[in-house]
Structure 1
């Protein structure tokens, strides 16, 4: 990404995650509703669905959004994450990385050159 690229309000480029997930169910019929609802979430930078390939692409700030929230919206519109090995593997990896980004964002760095807290 270009460092001069503008992002939506509530999106920090340092914690921006881009995810690709295969969907199943009536994607063609419901993809516009899914996109519209996900776009409204604070921290979502971009979302698109390729209905012919049943592929969701979403970019979001991992300190503000979780993949579970996006999946709930997908399920609300009668679709789901594809039930295949590769998609489940990516989904698990995405959630692991997102949690690390969220944890690291709230972690206060400590240096061995400073006195420990409370001393």
Structure 2
């Protein structure tokens, strides 16, 4: 059976690891070789290559090999789909918390006015 993995899944899987998020943060400041990244994150070269491969598969990082050096830079992907997904849930939770705040305020007012609970 062929399994389709959506770009959203690849992005969130890539972002789920703190080392990969750190790599993205570092590459946001400047391009770096895999060797430099491995040293900076106190990892083996093989371990860093695996992290970079995950980021590359998600389109978040692009690599270029010149001679023996593989340089990494941020990809051009803007993550609009991921931001839209997050925004949808942020709006949902904001609405729920606002409703909860209203209930809490109502209960506080009843307590201040010594009103009985309507239950």
Q: State if a TM-score over 0.5 links the two structures.
A: no
Which has more radius of gyration? 2
TM, length-normalised to structure 2: 0.27
TM, length-normalised to structure 1: 0.27
Which of the two has greater helix per residue? Answer: 2
Which of the two has greater strand per residue? Answer: 1
